[in-house]
């Protein structure tokens, strides 16, 4: 036993010390039989001391380094090892010699670093995600890259809208953006401004949120002492703030009727006069307006001036709602989730297929804004529950009631010249086209998912979802 190596006088103290070390300690004799196994080793390896003592160490640990130490007489320091699944240690081993230099045994110490490894993996994943985010951010603002890169889509009609906005952004034309609430009109307005290269600021003003009594002073500004309560130094209006830049008039359909003639005069003359002032100031401000209302109907109801409408609607852009670009829902959901998780410093949450199916079936009356809100709500709940994925119970009640009927899809490649599936509707035909493109891309990349996702310009998670949806297998 252990007294063969150590004097019996010191054995008790020796065992007591080693039993209270937080690392695992294993001692073998010159034949490789275990003569000491401390309590930390018992707990970590789940092997009782009574079971292993007197037995060969390789019977319990086939990859043990101690036999090599006995054979070669060399020491080993800080060797990384994984003795069992999801378990990691750093081990050191030394030969034990008598006074004549003869090897009489060996000692190994294993330090558990499992939590450190897991934390390191998480840190690496987070750093990788942050690096990707940094690259995307840099790409948006680098020379030759467009601010429109922030607006993502796989929908052909929506991409054509993006390209149209990009092409007219450098022109001086006033633009009217039409679209439902939550479709991203302000995001488009910002993209148009930054793409335009104008040196001034982007100044947004929501025509529906400012009280009617304050709207005029907010828009046009005022001189010192113009009215009771006015600042002694006066105030610059939003139109002046946007000098050389872009004034974004959101919800233009809600602009007070009595202020519309004043805005019209400014657009016609290119000058603005503050309230209480008499000195017109030349301005170079581009107007980008947005509304979710039908301005022509407002004109018929005498709620909007026709002449102002034609000044603002030099070029009209219609932004389609999310329900008209169903294939973007999964793309946007994954993008919002990744960005939110990185911003909050939490693990990337999974969106299972059944949840993505619900997303695809839902009408999204609140459009992209509603989708983003739902994703953020679900991510927080998934993180708090430690589930690591979004579950149906995390969704808003009105979405939990949606029932999805799964239908199998034949995954054989379909000849696009045979268009009989058009009889089943455009959506069915487009799904077949999408499936065929994915299959062909996977074949071209020899089923390299990363390469295929890069070629298709979609996140890898979206590719996995679509492969599962269409039953595509290698």
- What is the CA 319 to chain-centroid distance, rounded? 23
Q: What letter does residue 212 receive in the DSSP assignment?
A: H
Work out whether the CA dihedral 354, 359, 363, 365 comes out positive or negative.
positive
170-225 confidence digits (pLDDT tens) = 898 999 999 999 999 999 999 999 999 888 899 999 888 887 777 888 888 888 76
- pTM check: above 0.85: no
Last residue of a domain, one of 64, 92, 112: 112
Question: Residues 116, 135: contact at Cβ < 8 Å?
Answer: no
Q: Say yes or no: 162 and 221 in one domain.
A: yes
How do 281-282 and 235-236 pair as beta strands?
Answer: unpaired
Instruction: Using pLDDT thresholds of 50, 70 and 90, give the confidence band for residue 17.
Output: confident
Has residue 386 got a pLDDT over 70?
yes
Which CATH number covers residue 390?
1.10.8.60
Which CATH number covers residue 304?
3.40.50.300
Q: Say yes or no: 16 and 76 in one domain.
A: yes
Instruction: Using pLDDT thresholds of 50, 70 and 90, give the confidence band for residue 455.
Output: confident
Instruction: Using pLDDT thresholds of 50, 70 and 90, give the confidence band for residue 301.
Output: very high
Task: Check residue 140 and give its pLDDT.
Answer: 47
Which CATH number covers residue 459?
1.10.10.60
DSSP string for 379-412: HHHHHHHT-SB--GGGS-HHHHT----------S
Q: Say yes or no: 186 and 312 in one domain.
A: yes
Run of H or E including 92: strand 87-97
Name 203's bridge partners: 247
30-47 confidence digits (pLDDT tens) = 999 999 999 888 888 888
How do 76-84 and 87-97 pair as beta strands?
Answer: antiparallel
Out of 26-30, 74-78, 228-232, 320-324, which region has the weakest mean confidence (pLDDT)?
A: 228-232
Cα–Cα distances in Å, from 350 out to 136, 194, 272? 21, 34, 53
How high is the mean pLDDT of the chain?
82
Q: Say yes or no: 348 and 466 in one domain.
A: no
Mean pLDDT for 346-351 is: 82
Mean pLDDT for 447-471 is: 80
Q: Say yes or no: 218 and 360 in one domain.
A: no
In a domain, 411, yes or no: yes
221-261 confidence digits (pLDDT tens) = 888 766 655 566 678 889 998 999 999 999 999 998 888 99
Report the alpha-carbon distance of residue 49 to residue 52 in Å, rounded. Answer: 5
Task: Check residue 409 and give its pLDDT.
Answer: 40
Task: Check residue 407 and give its pLDDT.
Answer: 43
Task: Check residue 368 and give its pLDDT.
Answer: 94
Both structure tokens of 416 = 């696009």
Out of 249-253, 271-275, 345-349, which region has the weakest mean confidence (pLDDT)?
A: 345-349
Q: Report the domain count for the chain.
A: 4
Burial class of 102 by CB neighbour count within 10 A (0 to 12, 13 to 18, 19+): exposed
Last residue of a domain, one of 286, 320, 354: 320
Mean pLDDT for 357-367 is: 90
Has residue 8 got a pLDDT over 70?
no
* 73-80, Cβ contacts within 8 angstroms, sequence gap of 24 or more: 73/103
Instruction: Using pLDDT thresholds of 50, 70 and 90, give the confidence band for residue 415.
Output: very low
Instruction: Using pLDDT thresholds of 50, 70 and 90, give the confidence band for residue 469.
Output: confident
In a domain, 134, yes or no: no
Label residue 76 left, alpha or beta by phi (over 0 means left) and psi (-120 to 50 means alpha).
beta
- The residue among 186, 176, 182 whose CA lies nearest residue 298 is 176
Has residue 129 got a pLDDT over 70?
no
Q: Say yes or no: 86 and 186 in one domain.
A: no
Report the alpha-carbon distance of residue 208 to residue 248 in Å, rounded. Answer: 13
Question: Residues 373, 366: contact at Cβ < 8 Å?
Answer: yes
Q: How many other β-carbons are positioned within 10 Å of the β-carbon of residue 89?
A: 20
In a domain, 136, yes or no: no
In a domain, 293, yes or no: yes
Out of 16-25, 158-167, 295-304, which region has the weakest mean confidence (pLDDT)?
A: 16-25
Choice between 440 and 295, residue whose per-residue pLDDT is larger: 295
Three-state SS string over 271-334 comes to EECCECCCCCEECCCEEEEEECCCHHHHHHCCCCCHHHHHHHCCEEEECCCHHHCCCHHHHHHH
Out of 77-81, 285-289, 321-325, 388-392, which region has the weakest mean confidence (pLDDT)?
A: 77-81
395-414 confidence digits (pLDDT tens) = 998 898 887 654 444 434 44
Choice between 348 and 237, residue whose per-residue pLDDT is larger: 237
Has residue 361 got a pLDDT over 80?
yes
**C-alpha count within 13 angstroms, C-beta hemisphere, residue 374:** 31
Radius of gyration of the chain (CA): 35
Both structure tokens of 10 = 């010191």
Which CATH number covers residue 19?
3.30.450.20
Using a pLDDT cut of 90, give the percent of the chain over it. 29
In a domain, 121, yes or no: no
Q: Say yes or no: 276 and 289 in one domain.
A: yes
Using a pLDDT cut of 70, give the percent of the chain over it. 82
Task: Check residue 127 and give its pLDDT.
Answer: 59
Which range of 227-236, 320-329, 444-453 scores highest in mean pLDDT? It is 320-329
Q: Say yes or no: 236 and 253 in one domain.
A: yes
Mean pLDDT for 383-397 is: 89
Report the alpha-carbon distance of residue 459 to residue 351 in Å, rounded. Answer: 13
Task: Check residue 434 and give its pLDDT.
Answer: 82
**Domain region containing 337:** 323-406
41-71 confidence digits (pLDDT tens) = 888 888 898 999 999 999 988 878 899 899 9
Choice between 27 and 227, residue whose per-residue pLDDT is larger: 27
Q: Say yes or no: 95 and 168 in one domain.
A: no
Choice between 369 and 132, residue whose per-residue pLDDT is larger: 369
In a domain, 81, yes or no: yes
Q: Say yes or no: 168 and 22 in one domain.
A: no
In a domain, 391, yes or no: yes
Last residue of a domain, one of 381, 406, 431: 406
Q: Say yes or no: 82 and 154 in one domain.
A: no
Has residue 424 got a pLDDT over 80?
no
Q: Say yes or no: 191 and 307 in one domain.
A: yes
In a domain, 124, yes or no: no
Both structure tokens of 268 = 């016609």
Has residue 345 got a pLDDT over 70?
yes
């Amino acid at each position: 036993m252990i007294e063969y190596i150590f004097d019996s006088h010191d054995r008790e103290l020796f065992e007591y010390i080693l039993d209270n070390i937080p690392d695992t300690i294993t001692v073998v004799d010159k034949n490789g039989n275990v003569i000491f196994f401390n309590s930390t080793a018992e707990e970590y390896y789940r092997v009782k001391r009574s079971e292993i003592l007197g037995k060969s160490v390789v019977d319990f640990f086939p990859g043990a380094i101690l036999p090599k130490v006995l054979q070669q007489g060399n020491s080993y320091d800080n060797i990384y090892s994984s003795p069992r699944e999801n378990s990691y240690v750093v081990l050191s081993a030394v030969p034990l010699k008598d006074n004549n230099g003869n090897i009489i045994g060996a000692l190994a110490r294993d330090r558990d670093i499992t939590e450190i490894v897991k934390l390191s993996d998480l840190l690496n994943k987070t750093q990788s995600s942050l690096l990707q985010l940094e690259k995307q951010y840099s790409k948006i603002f680098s020379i030759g890259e467009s601010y429109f890169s922030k607006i993502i889509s796989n929908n052909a009609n929506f991409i054509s809208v993006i390209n149209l906005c990009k092409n007219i952004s450098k022109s001086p034309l006033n633009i009217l953006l039409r679209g439902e609430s939550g479709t991203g009109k302000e995001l488009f307005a910002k993209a148009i401004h930054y793409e335009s290269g104008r040196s001034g600021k982007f100044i947004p003003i929501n025509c529906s949120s400012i009280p009617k009594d304050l709207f005029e002073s907010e828009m046009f500004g005022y001189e010192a002492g113009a009215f009771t309560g006015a600042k002694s130094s006066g105030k610059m209006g939003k139109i002046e703030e946007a000098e050389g830049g872009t004034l974004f008039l959101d919800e233009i359909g809600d602009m007070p009727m009595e202020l519309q003639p004043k805005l019209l005069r400014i657009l016609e003359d290119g000058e603005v006069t503050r309230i209480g002032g008499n000195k017109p100031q030349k301005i170079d401000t581009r107007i980008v307006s947005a509304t979710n209302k039908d301005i022509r109907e407002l004109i018929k109801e005498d709620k909007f001036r026709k002449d102002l409408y034609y000044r603002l609607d030099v070029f009209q852009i219609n932004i389609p709602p999310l329900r008209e670009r169903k294939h973007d829902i999964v793309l946007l959901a994954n993008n919002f989730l990744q960005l939110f998780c990185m911003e909050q410093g939490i693990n990337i949450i999974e969106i299972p297929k059944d949840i993505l199916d619900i997303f695809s079936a839902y009408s999204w009356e609140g459009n992209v804004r509603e989708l983003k809100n739902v994703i953020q709500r679900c991510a927080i709940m998934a993180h708090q529950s430690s589930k690591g994925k979004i579950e149906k119970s995390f969704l808003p009640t009105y979405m939990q009631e949606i029932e999805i009927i799964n239908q199998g899809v034949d995954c054989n490649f379909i000849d696009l010249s045979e268009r009989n599936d058009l009889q089943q509707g455009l959506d069915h035909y487009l799904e077949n086209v999408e499936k065929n493109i994915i299959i062909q891309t996977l074949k071209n990349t020899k089923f390299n998912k990363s390469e295929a996702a890069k070629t298709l310009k979609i996140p890898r998670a979206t590719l996995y979802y679509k492969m599962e949806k269409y039953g595509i297998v290698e």
